[in-house]
Amino acid sequence: MKDFDKICNAFFGGTRGILREIDINRISDIIIYRGGVICTVSDGKNTVACKNDKPYICPPEEFDKSLISLCGGSVWRYSDEFINGAFSLFGYRIGIIGRAVFSDGKIKNICDISSLHIRIPRRQKGASNAILPYILKDGILHSAIIFSNPGGGKTTVLRDLCEQLASLKYSKRVVLIDSQNEILPDLKTAPLCSVFSEYPQECALKIAKRTQNPDLIVCDEINFDISKTSFIYSGIPLIFSTHAQSFDMLMRSFFEDKAKISFIDLFIMTKIKDCKNIFTVYNANGDVMN
């Protein structure tokens, strides 16, 4: 995670020092509050960063200066991303919260940013080993949804799946739709992986289906109802992730038309325990398979 140094260098003052002292191998998130504390998250536990045995308070001017630095000197270059709640930098997704500016009933800008939420991408070799026999069974790839609460390790699993299946060992042509530019597989170990970077998901899916003829498409945190598209009749295996606390909640919230889930073979719940992914694999009936 050498690029985290670049993130640290964009900050100023005591905040930079705090960030450099954090062991990012053991955390999933860093939240920096303007005029407030710096909090890290590990296995769902929140810890406030301290300096000289006292919670460090990020001064507003230090926060503002750091935000401008993160944006390369101009927050306007990321204005579209701000509206969607996050922007990507060096493979890290940085979420923002502030005051929404509306025009004609739509959010046109976000100002008065009050916090920054840095998600820590985790490259864990072999993170998908436990589910690979279900994804690739008897030489056949199966479609799957990988779901969890936020911070449950979905992106880590998708990254490892891409790297393994697109490696010379498995030799599967994988198309990755990386709209947030944060999966970032190692293409040296995954030479058969092609990446749609920062494309709108639905647009990239149509192009991939029409022009790439892949063995598998992978998409992180899908943001539209794919069951309403013609893709479900394409026959191309698809693995994507979404947020859900349980199988029942996934079925209630994600699929409006239950008859159209037949294109999904596996429903895989993941959670993090002791910095490792723990899986529960379901079939479409909700039966546990592992």
* Residue 230 binned pLDDT confidence (cut-offs 50, 70, 90): confident
pTM of the model: 0.77
Of 3-12, 102-111, 210-219, 220-229, the poorest mean pLDDT is in: 220-229
CA pair distance 60, 51, nearest whole angstrom = 17
CA pair distance 148, 245, nearest whole angstrom = 6
- Confidence check: pLDDT of 111 > 60: yes
Residue that has been written with the tokens 């799957």 in this structure:
144
In sequence order, the 6+-apart residues with CB closer than 8 A to the CB of 41 are 27, 28, 29, 30, 31, 47, 151
The model's pLDDT over 185-219, given as tens digits with 9 standing for 90+, comes to 889 999 999 999 888 899 999 999 999 999 999 99
CA pair distance 205, 278, nearest whole angstrom = 29
Cβ atoms of 69 and 10 closer than 8 Å: yes
Q: Which domains does the chain have, with CATH numbers?
A: 4-119 (3.30.450), 132-282 (3.40.50.300)
CA pair distance 71, 113, nearest whole angstrom = 13
State mean pLDDT over 176-189.
87
Q: What is the four-CA torsion angle of 208, 210, 212, 213, rounded to 10 degrees?
A: 110
* Type of residue at 178: D
